[in-house]
Structure 1
Amino acid sequence: MFYLKKNKKRMLALCLSAALSVGSLTVYAATEQWNDASLTPAFTTKTAVSEHTDWADWKANWDKIKTNYEQVALIPGSDFSKLNFGWYSKEKANEAVVRIGDNKKMKKAKAFKGKCTEGTVINGVQYYSNKVTADGFEPNTTYYYQVKLNGKWQQAHEYKTGDPHNFSFMYVGDPQIGASKGQVPNESAVEQSEDVAARNDAYNWNKTLNSALAQHPEINFLVSPGDQINEPAGNNAEKHLLQEYEYSGYLSATAFRNLPQAVAIGNHDCLTTSYQNHFNVPNPFTAETNSTVAGHGYYYTYGSALFIVINANNYNAADHKALVEKAVKENPNAKWRIVVMHQDIYGSGLDHSDSDGIILRNQLTPIFDANDIDVVLQGHDHTYARTYQLTSDGKQYDDFAEYKVGQHGQDHKVLDNKLKSDSAFKEYYTSQNRCYTIADMKQGTLVNPEGVFYMTSNSATGSKFYNLIEQQQDYVAARSQTWRPTYSVINITDDKFTINTYDAQTGTPIDEAYSIIKR
């Protein structure tokens, strides 16, 4: 079960912040609403601890979980027939190795070899990053895989492939393990440290994934638009240790032993190499000129769909244009073209949808149009919103280049300060982002519509929620803030795209289905 708690002290702080705001822009923060695991101590869920882990068990084992840095992440390969693996190890090996078999005893298993390279230093200890790609996977087949960790073969785990002509994936928003830092749990009178917050959020992450997979066993893989963790860390070794605690909590979810995940770089992920050391992404766009420390955008296909994952913390739109064009050129027959990115250039949250979140809007909108993108999946604003079908209006706009120099997704103070201090600039900035046309306002099922459909996902863990912006934007078809963890299930066939979004506890839809048919 999921229970949310209001923090009265946090509400007072928000009220004072609002009262002290300068000009037309308030500096917003997480609301008093969050998902407090201590409110349901008797609830049990499957975790790395046991099949039925309650809150006390999880807390008792947290120190082991958070320091288990050597967990495996499965990632979709460059196409349906491939699967990527990434994991840390304490020992340096000549090569990273994974075995794939058709039986749990791994008889006649085939070995696939990759690279083991110097990775992250955690608490003074050098860890190594292992990356392998396995291929030859067939539709609707059960396989088993084993990784070699520190010279020893680990437990074999099951991996089932789906149908590339009719598949489903789970789309989640900002798990952000550790983001409930500063909240006061029901079981304590003290604000949570980031470590304690990670413990809370990682337990709730297990709840969401387990509930979703029980309610929708047809899910084949997971897509996250970023912010897997909360601590940006940067060059601070102590904070980097906290960040790795959060990655351990995130990756500890038992669902990930069998479920591939395709994750974008969020602003909280972008300042260290940990993201690229944990996740072995397919087709990384290394030609990116302004990449962040975390790595690059990438792309892959799954059946008739092309997925292009943009690192929108990089404010150089030319890099994203080059990535999209490269992915489209290499996959000209893809029926569906889907972009995944962290910043919501068309969202409806109070914190970002009229400020840093839209800094790339008037540049990316025409790029997506020119390359016939169908859908853009976004995060960042910790609220739910979906748009009408949108197109570029074809006009030229200010790209605000001077506010991007030396800035990125986790540091946009130059823009923030200007918006905060200059109301005339705020109005101009808003006017320069009215760069779209609403091409189709139909709801339900659309046939061969013009334009691009944009989605913004709410928090999948409840670690942090934001308010909706006061005035709903004209491009928004539906939006909500339920203050509860949610997730979406997207089904794709060769001629239909359908998205449904659900409450993570009850499985109840929070919005009507939206479908696009191509004929």
Structure 2
Amino acid sequence: MEKIARRRFLGSTLKMGALLPVLGTPAKLLIDNNDKDYTPADIPDRIILTVTPDLATSVTMNWRTAGKSGDNLVEYTVADAHPEFTANAVRVKATARAFRFGNISALNCRVTINNLKPDTLYAYRLGNESGWSEWMQFRTAKSNTEKANLSFIYLGDAQVGIRPLWSRVIRKAYAAMPDAQLIIHAGDLVNRANEDKEWGDWFAAGGYIHGSTPALMTPGNHEYIHEDGNPHLSIYWNEQFLLPDNGPANELLKGSCYFTDVQGVKIISLNTQMIEEALTEDLINRQVAWLHQTLKHNPQQWTCVVMHHPVYSTKKGRDNKKVREHLKPIFDQYSVDLVLQGHDHAYARGMDKIPLTGGAAGSRSGTTYIVSVSGSKMYETEPMEWADIIGSHLQVYHAVNITNSTLAFRSYLATGELFDAFDLVKEKGRQNELIDKRPSNK
């Protein structure tokens, strides 16, 4: 049975579209005061699996090493309970790229393993004779079918308090959903785009989870620097995350605008920073045109978009007008089911009160919008017309389970208590029906 949050301060203040009381956030929660040494070594670190266009037959492995000698290798095989399974391992050479930034000198390694068997547990390790990682395990997705069947974890901004406080959220989420097919990160993974210590904290906080469940991430504004007045994606992003190369043909969108099809669901990453701060209209138009084509030729039963800046925000004055003007009409046109966002450092969801672009008076969009946060940085909120529920000063994670025509969305506090819940029910030729299942004390 799901544990339900019944704390008085939540139950008495959280109403439909209501505002939670603003609690002071101690400064110490916003600062990661540790002297952890993240110097690269011979033994691989910063190990992470990232999504490919088809997770049933492939996965990408990324890691870092000091790279002092030898080739960088992956050994993998079908997992077995008998420890002698390692004798069957296949060895593959990885691509290694020299990385030098500040006082950091390392090799960033990656390899995409193809021709895997669907729905199969694999074991793998990374490194060479100078140092190997432990053997880790992951399961490939099932082959895409007409009837969707997918489970995933969704996390909003980690950004601040990554190692001391975000760690408990990703670990609790994984403990609750160890068999999730992927983990979605909706931007602002760190606070300072090119700060190695923060990336070290992010990898340390997730630990072996990063190497066990493929990640799908989209960059937020804090993954960008503006040293010359223009936005530049973190030098770390494409060096440590190899992501699908099926987005628009533009270097400024590489590794941030892409999609994967997994078990009847199309999941699309959009780069909203390159809409809000695009240097040219052409850059916006390229992403918009690509999104049209991607959705126009979409055979998947469900469609989910992941992006950082919300179409609808949790406080007046935080309006992302360009994002809404360029993207919402497309979401409406192609009946996108779910839009997962971050940026506002609060939780909110809405559908029923959102109008359909160009629709008749009283018509609703049919797309469900979520805003979330998982780190310790919190913003104030206020009642917003679009939102069915808003909550502030809470670290949350989300479990999404899709089974054929039903999408079950559950939001949990960092402590594991059920905070919000709804089902989306899909019927061909009609807009999704949202069934509110939030706890009775909300």
Same fold per TM (> 0.5)?
A: yes
Distance 1:270 1:93, change over 3 A: farther
The equivalent residue for 2:324 is 361
The equivalent residue for 2:25 is 33
1:276 aligns with 2:243: no
Q: CA deviation at 1:479?
A: 1.4
| Mapped partners of 1:85, 1:220: distance in 2 | 15
1:90 aligns with 2:44: no
| Mapped partners of 1:278, 1:438: distance in 2 | 47
The equivalent residue for 2:178 is 217
1:244 aligns with 2:179: no
Structure 1 counterpart SS, 2:87? coil
1:474 aligns with 2:385: yes
Aligned residue identity for 1:366? P
Q: CA deviation at 1:351?
A: 6.0
Q: CA deviation at 1:349?
A: 3.5
Deviations 1:418-449 (A, max 9, x none): xxxxxxxxxxxxxxxxxx97644xxxxxxxxx
Q: CA deviation at 1:341?
A: 0.4
| Mapped partners of 1:209, 1:383: distance in 2 | 17
| Mapped partners of 1:36, 1:504: distance in 2 | 18
Q: CA deviation at 1:92?
A: 7.9
Deviations 1:260-302 (A, max 9, x none): 211101111133220111111112525137x26x853111111
The equivalent residue for 1:497 is 407
1:71 to 46, 57, 73: 46
Distance 1:222 1:149, change over 3 A: farther
Aligned residue identity for 1:258? S
**Contact 2:46–2:203 (Cα < 8 Å) also in 1:** yes
Aligned residue identity for 2:290? L
Distance 1:217 1:156, change over 3 A: closer
The equivalent residue for 1:509 is 418
**Contact 2:356–2:363 (Cα < 8 Å) also in 1:** no
Unmatched runs of 5 consecutive residues or more in structure 1: 1-29, 39-57, 180-199, 233-239, 396-435, 441-449
| Mapped partners of 1:95, 1:367: distance in 2 | 46
| Mapped partners of 2:404, 2:368: distance in 1 | 18
Q: TM-score, normalised by structure 2?
A: 0.76
Deviations 1:86-106 (A, max 9, x none): 223332889753222124552
| Mapped partners of 2:167, 2:26: distance in 1 | 16
Structure 2 counterpart SS, 1:251? helix
Q: How large is the RMSD of aligned CA atoms in angstroms?
A: 3.1
| Mapped partners of 1:93, 1:288: distance in 2 | 35
The equivalent residue for 1:266 is 220
The equivalent residue for 1:393 is 357
Aligned residue identity for 2:37? K
Unmatched runs of 5 consecutive residues or more in structure 2: 1-21, 226-233, 276-282, 429-442
Q: CA deviation at 1:113?
A: 4.2
**Contact 1:284–1:296 (Cα < 8 Å) also in 2:** no
Aligned residue identity for 2:218? A
**Contact 2:337–2:366 (Cα < 8 Å) also in 1:** yes
2:313 to 328, 347, 372: 347
Q: TM-score, normalised by structure 1?
A: 0.65
Structure 1 counterpart SS, 2:200? helix
Deviations 1:321-344 (A, max 9, x none): 133234335x53111111110001
The equivalent residue for 1:154 is 133
1:302 aligns with 2:262: yes
Q: CA deviation at 1:230?
A: 0.3
1:453 to 368, 375, 379: 368
Q: Give 1:161-180 correspondences, 5 Å limit.
A: 161=140, 163=142, 165-176=148-159, 179=160
